[in-house]
Structure 1
Amino acid sequence: MSARILVVDDVPANVKLLEARLSAEYFDVMTASNGTEALALASRAECDIILLDVMMPDMDGFEVCRRLKTDPATHHIPVVMVTALDSPADRNRGLEAGADDFLTKPVSDVVLIARVRSLTRLKMMTDELRMRAITSLEIGMQAPERSAVADTGRGGRILLVDDRQSSYERLATILAAEHTIDVEPNPTEALFHAAEGNYDLLIVSLDLNNFDGLRLCSQARSLERTRHVPILAIADPENSTRLLRGLEIGVNDYLLRPIDKTELLARARTQIRRRRYTDHLRDNVQNSIEMAITDALTGLHNRRYMESHLATLADQASTRGKPLALMILDIDYFKSINDNYGHDAGDDVLREFAVRVRKSIRGIDLACRYGGEEFVIVMPETDLHVAGMVAERLRRSIAGEPFAVHKGTKRIEVTISIGLTTLEQKGEAVADVLKRADTALYRAKHDGRNRVVSQAA
């Protein structure tokens, strides 16, 4: 797995040592000798992970990390502090600054490479989401970076899986100061609990009695509903080798007993912040997809979606030997509504029209705004007779009750004309079906509007 690693250290020998270790694993290594240079490289998006020394002359690593994590352009880049400092206070200061991990020199090659690979996977996943979310910005959605920087990581929902009572009682008490905690002492029930609980973080003990904690972590990664929930593993010091294996299968972070209270809280906040950020990115991607196929004013599908989906529905109807009905609806004299009452009133009519359409059709039917005041409804497994009844019911729904406009201060009469046809010839082009429905609509308008006209295949 290739990634660009930025090594920041003012001691050339340290830089050369890390560069050699990482290059041997086929990582692309960049270097910086001070904090200012590191910040400049990171701001140009030239690195995937930063290995950061603490003791530097111009700006120490804590300050560099803090600036990286408070800048919307760089906060998503994983930072690992690699330093000779080994006190709990230094470790916690680094984690509070936003570091993803804090490794004490001399660092084992195995530990270093395992951590870099784990964070590389995470960074690449985040980068993919960020690239997809660029479309969201182009259609006016808010970028999540600033809210991510401001997020404290507190107020999360955490599931703690631990079958040692003395252990889980202490951990739950610590975590409850900042989060909502559920404890699951039965590991066989933990996966079900995790899937149903909508958690921000799973904390899993790897020292469970008669149960493999790593298998639980692996199962959580393979299950759709827990795949993206971060996992913080906890183990006794003699199980450090299994922790490295955990990083390979998707564990996000780990702690060795005895657990330091401040470090536990700091690591939990880091994982919860990252979870919220990636969730926001996924939401933006999903919303942009929905907006690409949905008409913003009415909430119905748009013409692009209709044209692609109609072909699928027509193929299914032909294959199964089932009828497919299609109607084109046009709001009568819609231009006069805009001219006499204003475009705001026209928008009110279109929104209410969409509501009445939804109430008149089935869930399997496809309703789309075709353009302007024209709409298309596609009805699978529906013959011309039944479709005619639905069309007439919809026509009466529109004409039977005036439309409220201008926040209900005025009510206006609205009618529609409907052209209706069906796909009954196997393999018929959908363009021909649309043209036939449009011809029927023209006849309805020519014959006086506010009516349904059917035209058989």
Structure 2
Amino acid sequence: MDASILLVGGDDFLATLLVRIRNLVSCTVEVAPSPNEAMPLIQAQQPDLVILQGNQAVSLELCRQIKDQTRLAWIYCLLLDLPASKLAEAWQDDFWIMKCRAEALENGADAYLWFPQSDANGAALPGDTVRQQDRLLSAQIASGLRMVKNHRELMRTNDILSAIALSDPLTELNNRRALDWELPRQVQNSRSRSEQMSVLMLDVDFFKNINDTYGHPIGDRALQLISGRLRHNLRFRDTLFRYGGEEFVILLSGTDAQEALLVGRRLCRLIGDQPFAVDDDLNLEMTISAGVASLNDNDDSKGASLLQRADQNLLKAKAAGRNRVIGGHDGLKDKG
């Protein structure tokens, strides 16, 4: 993806800078004549680098707005001042540059540059001076783009690591760590919206016998096949997790106890009614048991008590003969 730069400033600033920028770098360059027009562009397009007209209160305010938003704070902000001429005395130039640079950095800018367009008498600057300005501007842009590139690569790496950390490598389902993060979030959402929510905990019946009889590679393949069948037969709002071993958890948002029981019964049939072709020579018949629990006012905000009740009902289902669902406060039962 090509790097992108947004220039923000008045007409004279943009006219002067646009030509210089396009001669210095190969980037997508867009312009915004005012900070009010710039912010919607920044939010929608998220340019890599923003160059703002220096020595303007509105530019400092735009810098603050960008850096105050977490999703935008990585954007590199360069304040560039293009005064018509140098000041009369060199010490005045130095003082002014330090003052403006301090204000820029205090307001969130990543860098500040001061490029007068003529000397103190209004005469054109020497060619060497202009070339050094362009060299410095090019180097500052390159530095900013490197920082942004490193940030983007870091974010991509973090996304990959997060996906790895929250994914079960065998089944490619969400793992228990993902459940620990998602369950409290769904509990909070259900309560804030006054909606029902249920949890379905599943366990593959007699799974140890599969490992003991056919070996762990066959057991692993069986778990992959069960995971796939479950995943492809859930509703769009349901979230499936591998809880550990041969246990799975499904978060059923917007679902009361009776409806969750029906979901569990349907999944029991889907698993039990059709054998699994583990390989060309082996078809395994498997069943699951399930426990259902629905959120109530006494459940903690993390969902631990809700999950515990689902687990208790799962144990009841296994004790009652397996291949069945038990759930709800009234001990609702159903044979799969």
Q: TM-score, structure 2 length as denominator?
A: 0.70
CA contact 1:205–1:235 (8 Å) conserved in 2: yes
CA distance, structure 1, for counterparts of residue 273 and residue 24 of structure 2 = 60
* Alignment CA distance shift 1:185-1:402 (3 Å): farther
Which residue of 347, 360, 369 maps to 2:242?
A: 369
Equivalent residue of 2:71, what SS? helix
Q: Could you say which residue in structure 2 is the equivalent of 1:171?
A: 20
CA contact 1:168–1:183 (8 Å) conserved in 2: no
CA distance, structure 2, for counterparts of residue 294 and residue 453 of structure 1 = 27
CA distance, structure 2, for counterparts of residue 203 and residue 410 of structure 1 = 67
> Could you list the per-position Cα deviations for residues 360-415 of structure 1 after superposition, in whole angstroms to 9, with x for gaps in the alignment?
33455442212112112232443332112212332344456665667xx7884453
Q: Could you say which residue in structure 2 is the equivalent of 1:436?
A: 312
1:270-289 alignment, distance < 5 Å:
270-289=143-162
Which residue of 28, 43, 49 maps to 1:195?
A: 43
1:30-429 alignment, distance < 5 Å:
155-162=2-9, 163-164=11-12, 165-176=14-25, 178-206=26-54, 212-236=58-82, 240=97, 241-257=99-115, 260-306=133-179, 310=183, 324-332=197-205, 334-335=207-208, 343=216, 346-362=219-235, 364-399=237-272, 412-413=283-284, 415-423=286-294, 426-427=297-298, 429=305
CA distance, structure 1, for counterparts of residue 66 and residue 202 of structure 2 = 49
2:8 alignment partner AA: V
CA distance, structure 1, for counterparts of residue 144 and residue 160 of structure 2 = 24
CA distance, structure 2, for counterparts of residue 308 and residue 328 of structure 1 = 17
* 1:272 CA drift (Å): 1.3
CA distance, structure 1, for counterparts of residue 307 and residue 268 of structure 2 = 25
CA distance, structure 2, for counterparts of residue 194 and residue 312 of structure 1 = 30
Q: Could you say which residue in structure 1 is the equivalent of 2:125?
A: none
* 1:347 CA drift (Å): 4.2
* Alignment CA distance shift 1:339-1:432 (3 Å): closer
1:204 alignment partner AA: L
> Could you list the per-position Cα deviations for residues 251-283 of structure 1 after superposition, in whole angstroms to 9, with x for gaps in the alignment?
112222256333222211111111222333344
* Alignment CA distance shift 1:157-1:376 (3 Å): same
CA distance, structure 2, for counterparts of residue 182 and residue 421 of structure 1 = 56
CA distance, structure 2, for counterparts of residue 452 and residue 268 of structure 1 = 65
CA contact 2:51–2:77 (8 Å) conserved in 1: yes
Unaligned segments of structure 2, at least 5 residues? 87-95, 118-129, 300-304, 330-336
* 1:219 CA drift (Å): 2.1
Higher deviation after alignment, 262-271 or 199-208: 199-208
Equivalent residue of 1:195, what SS? helix
* Alignment CA distance shift 1:214-1:369 (3 Å): same
CA distance, structure 2, for counterparts of residue 366 and residue 413 of structure 1 = 26
CA distance, structure 2, for counterparts of residue 336 and residue 396 of structure 1 = 21
CA distance, structure 1, for counterparts of residue 160 and residue 237 of structure 2 = 22
1:420 alignment partner AA: G
1:198 alignment partner AA: Q
Higher deviation after alignment, 330-339 or 270-279: 330-339
* Alignment CA distance shift 1:189-1:312 (3 Å): closer
Indicate the percent of aligned positions where both proteins have the same amino acid: 28
RMSD of equivalent CA atoms: 3.8
Higher deviation after alignment, 416-425 or 191-200: 416-425
CA contact 1:418–1:440 (8 Å) conserved in 2: no
CA contact 1:403–1:412 (8 Å) conserved in 2: yes
CA distance, structure 2, for counterparts of residue 225 and residue 316 of structure 1 = 23
2:204 alignment partner AA: I
1:390 alignment partner AA: V
1:243 alignment partner AA: R
* Alignment CA distance shift 1:279-1:315 (3 Å): closer
* Alignment CA distance shift 1:345-1:229 (3 Å): farther
CA contact 1:234–1:255 (8 Å) conserved in 2: yes
CA distance, structure 2, for counterparts of residue 286 and residue 357 of structure 1 = 26
Q: TM-score, structure 1 length as denominator?
A: 0.54
* 1:433 CA drift (Å): 0.5
Higher deviation after alignment, 343-352 or 192-201: 343-352
CA contact 1:175–1:181 (8 Å) conserved in 2: no
CA distance, structure 1, for counterparts of residue 6 and residue 188 of structure 2 = 47
CA distance, structure 2, for counterparts of residue 181 and residue 341 of structure 1 = 63
CA distance, structure 1, for counterparts of residue 8 and residue 38 of structure 2 = 7
Equivalent residue of 2:248, what SS? strand
1:6-25 alignment, distance < 5 Å:
none
Unaligned segments of structure 1, at least 5 residues? 1-153
CA distance, structure 1, for counterparts of residue 261 and residue 294 of structure 2 = 14
* 1:179 CA drift (Å): 2.4
CA contact 1:318–1:427 (8 Å) conserved in 2: no
Higher deviation after alignment, 354-363 or 375-384: 354-363
Equivalent residue of 1:360, what SS? coil
Q: Could you say which residue in structure 1 is the equivalent of 2:324?
A: 452
